Amino acid sequence: MFKGSITALITPFRDGQIDETVFQDLVEWQIQQGVHGLVPCGTTGESPSLTHDEHERIVDLCIEVSDKRVPVIAGTGSNSTAEAVSLTQHAANSGATAALVVMPYYNKPTPEGQYKHFVAIAESAEIPIIIYNIPGRCVVDMTVDTMARLAKIPNIIGVKDATGDASRPSSVRQLIGKDFCQLSGEDGCVPAMLAHGGHGCISVTANVAPALCAEMHEAWQKGDTTLALEIHDQLTPLNDALFVETSPGPVKYALSLLGRCAPDLRLPMTDIKGSTKELVHAAMGSAGLLDIGERQWHAAT
């Protein structure tokens, strides 16, 4: 069972290429800060813009650095079933702990098409599979009934829920059971997910606030809901700011303020607006994450 704060890692670029050294340093920093897991090559990692070789290389780099200290849940989804099968098999063969498989985007498959897509992937590799349900990016929404069908397959063990529907976790528990792993895909929905029996979050915010995010989940697990909500309140302006424009633009910029990576994106993603940079900077400050001077801030903008 996966639980706690699991970082949906960005993919750092420099001059259009993956900056492998920066990526590995970021992975090590995340582990040292106390995160409970890592997701390379998810949406936050700009996976649709990566070549197959780049995708597999990032997964391998993450597994190498983590060295089994924390789980690595490799993003392996695609709107092509054959491509998702190939990426999932690679993750399994490389030693990933699990695979995160996004709903097929653009194709708009029916519930039966969704079911057969995930069955084909699950049967192709001996690795736990987490369904990534994010209708905002994929258009289609997996119903709880379809998820219950898939949960009967032994290695389909959970869901990353980015529906924003606070009632969904309870429905999943009722139909599938409490052991089906439920992870929030929205940082702002973490308390609601946990209160309804969820287990953790695959987090964008944890890229820049890994220690705070981990502390929040650990407080909740210990029954200290007051502290958990205090930390959540502290992070709320940042959770909001990181999605003023399409992710991962804002979070990459936030990491650049920490000196962790360049804010470079790969087309069709482009540099965020100056007004968004101001919001991100202010939110990072309010969360207590900045120790850079105003001169550095102006240089960064």
What does the block give as tokens for 199? 């287990």
- 132 included as an active-site residue: yes
Which tops the pLDDT comparison, 167 or 220? 220
pLDDT tens profile 150-204: 999 999 999 999 999 988 999 999 999 999 999 999 999 999 999 999 999 999 9
Residue 291: predicted pLDDT:
74
Phi then psi for 112, rounded to 5 degrees? Answer: -70, -40
Query: What average pLDDT does this structure show over 48-69?
Result: 97
Which residue ranges form the domains of the chain, and what is each CATH number? Answer: 4-222 (3.20.20.70)
**Whether the predicted pLDDT of 4 surpasses 80:** yes
Reported for 248-252, long-range contacts at CB under 8 A and 24+ positions apart, including other chains, are 248/10, 248/43, 248/44, 248/45, 248/46, 248/204, 249/276, 250/276, 250/280, 251/10, 251/44, 251/204, 251/205, 251/207, 251/208, 252/10, 252/12
Residue 208: predicted pLDDT:
98
Residue 166: predicted pLDDT:
87
Which of the residues 132, 252, 253, 277 is marked catalytic?
132
| Percent of the chain residues topping a pLDDT of 90 | 94
**Whether the predicted pLDDT of 301 surpasses 60:** no
Which of the residues 3, 160, 252, 277 is marked catalytic?
160
Residue carrying the six token digits 């959540």: 232
| Dihedral in degrees, nearest 10, Cα atoms 87, 88, 93, 99 | 130
**Whether the predicted pLDDT of 263 surpasses 50:** yes
pLDDT band at residue 3 under the 50/70/90 scheme: very high
Three-state DSSP state, 10: coil
- 160 included as an active-site residue: yes
pLDDT band at residue 292 under the 50/70/90 scheme: very low
**Whether the predicted pLDDT of 31 surpasses 80:** yes
Helices (H), 242-273: 249-257
3-state helix, strand, coil in the chain (%, to 5): 50, 15, 35
